[in-house]
Chains A and B, each alone.
Chain A
């Protein structure tokens, strides 16, 4: 095999030196699911949706560098089951009620549920007590729906250079916190024009006053599955 090639499910895939498996696969038009990954930002590797087998060992495709001769399993029933379980875990960890959520139809978590045929969350619901922060003039944060992907953290730090968000606490107590005297978004440097305002893959951060604007049937994942998208990490504008 060529020294700039590896295989995904037995078919050769070229890569440029320094590319991660996910990037190489994407260039080759092969879909590897992901939630906390967004090509604009430094990879995070926490959601584990992009878990693949590299020569039999599980790795996160968004952080693992592609190397010549690697043999990857990406689409196997086992891996799909793993991804389904991950989505189920994220669902029970928060309060995800799609019927009342304006992100429904444009939500990547939901779309991955569809992709991996999640029929129920399986695990016992945790129903955590989380708040809604509507103190900001233009943007609301509903912590019930936060999946700790840290995209807003990275966007605010690396693109907006404001570092409005951070993660505090550990284990199940891990949660998004806001850099302001009161801990409220309204008192932070956050602005609706920030990249961080448009990067949330779920319905946790959304613009005030304009829910459900996209008709059912025209929403991002209504007719086309998340895997069908060339670059599904470009988050559709909320609503």
Chain B
């Protein structure tokens, strides 16, 4: 793997989705057959596509989605602590994306209105310690942990993800051609 010199060792790749829609993960799968080529270059760590639920030391972590609650913070911190390169993938990771449309509203108001019994109309906001607590706003990943690279798009196309990932794996400065760089 280029990061430590030899290409023999496979890159260890983690992915996670925070306050995202999984579209970036789906777009990741849009690399289609190249998924098998990728399997030659990289092996998966924690990812919604695997049953590995705990992130170990890895080389590259792709993060989809913004940070909107306590658990997102824990997850993003753990990935930052375990990965050498952290990439914010997609509009949500980069500027909060459409979920950040809620940032113009007060979270307590949203919760209050979101959780009312349809019959009685009484507020019933879930408050079990099992549940992650919401942050006042949806934040871009780079406002919570240091982000090494950003890959914009909603989602970035499979081709864009492939180009970007290949560059990183081969130790090149990742760059997108004009037709691959999009914010939508």
A residues neighboring B (CB under 8 Å): 91-92, 95-101, 104-105, 110, 113-114, 117, 119-121, 124-125, 127, 129-130, 223, 225
Segment touching A, from B31-39, B47-55, B93-101: B93-101
Residue pair B142, A120 in contact (C-beta under 8 Å): yes
Find residues 137-181 in chain B having any chain A CB closer than 8 Å to their own CB: 137, 139-140, 142-143, 147, 149-152, 154, 175-176, 178-179, 181
Q: How far is the CB of A212 from chain B (nearest CB, A)?
A: 10
A97 touches B181 (CB 8 A): no
**In the complex, are the beta carbons of A127 and B98 less than 8 A apart?**
no
Q: CB-CB < 8 A to B101: which residues of A?
A: 95, 97, 100
In the assembled complex, the Cα of A117 lies from the Cα of B181 at a distance in Å of 8
A88 to chain B minimum Cβ distance, whole angstroms, is 10
- A97 and B95 contact, CB distance less than 8 A: yes
**Given the known A-B contacts A114-B178, A119-B150, A127-B103, are A97 and B97 also in contact in the complex, defined by CB atoms under 8 Å?**
yes
Interface string of B79-95 (1 = CB under 8 A from A): 00000000010010011
Q: B94, A98: Cβ atoms under 8 Å?
A: no
Q: Shortest distance in angstroms between A194's beta carbon and chain B's nearest beta carbon? A: 28
Which of B91, B103, B143, B182 lies at the interface centre, i.e. has the most chain A CB atoms within 10 A of its CB? Answer: B182
Chain B interface SS verdict (over half): mixed
Is B8 positioned at the interface, with any CB of A under 8 Å from its CB?
Answer: no
Query: Which range contains the number of B residues in contact with the other chain?
Result: 20 to 34
Sample of 14 further A-B pairs with CB below 8 A, known A114-B183, A125-B139:
A95-B100, A97-B96, A97-B97, A97-B101, A98-B154, A99-B98, A104-B184, A117-B181, A119-B150, A119-B152, A120-B88, A125-B100, A127-B103, A127-B104
Q: Would you call A124 and B104 a contact (CB within 8 A)?
A: no
Shortest Cβ distance from residue B184 to the other chain A in the assembled complex, whole angstroms = 4
- A97 and B149 CA atoms in complex are apart in Å by 19
Are B152 and A120 in contact, CB atoms less than 8 angstroms apart?
yes
Are A125 and B149 in touch, CB under 8 angstroms? Answer: no
CA distance A104 to B91 in the complex (A): 13
Known A-B contacts A97-B101, A129-B104; the reply to A114 vs B184 at CB < 8 A is: no
| Closest residue of B by beta carbon distance from A127 | B103
Contact of A100 among B98, B137, B178 (CB under 8 A): B98
| Chain A neighbourhood of B96, CB < 8 A | 97, 125, 127
Cβ distance A142 to chain B, nearest Cβ, rounded Å: 12
B183 CB contact (under 8 Å) in A113, A125, A129: A113
Q: Which of A110, A120, A225 contacts B95 (CB 8 A)?
A: A120
- Min CB gap A87→B, angstroms: 11
Contact, CB under 8 Å: B91 / A223: no
Taking CB atoms, residues of chain B closer than 8 Å to A101 are: 184
List of A residues within 8 angstroms of B104 by Cβ: 95, 127, 129-130
| 21 sampled A-B residue pairs with Cβ under 8 A | A97-B96, A97-B98, A97-B100, A100-B98, A100-B101, A105-B184, A110-B183, A114-B181, A114-B182, A117-B176, A117-B181, A119-B150, A120-B88, A120-B140, A120-B142, A120-B152, A121-B95, A125-B140, A125-B143, A127-B100, A225-B178
B66 nearest CB across to chain A (Å): 10
Q: How far is the CB of B180 from chain A (nearest CB, A)?
A: 10
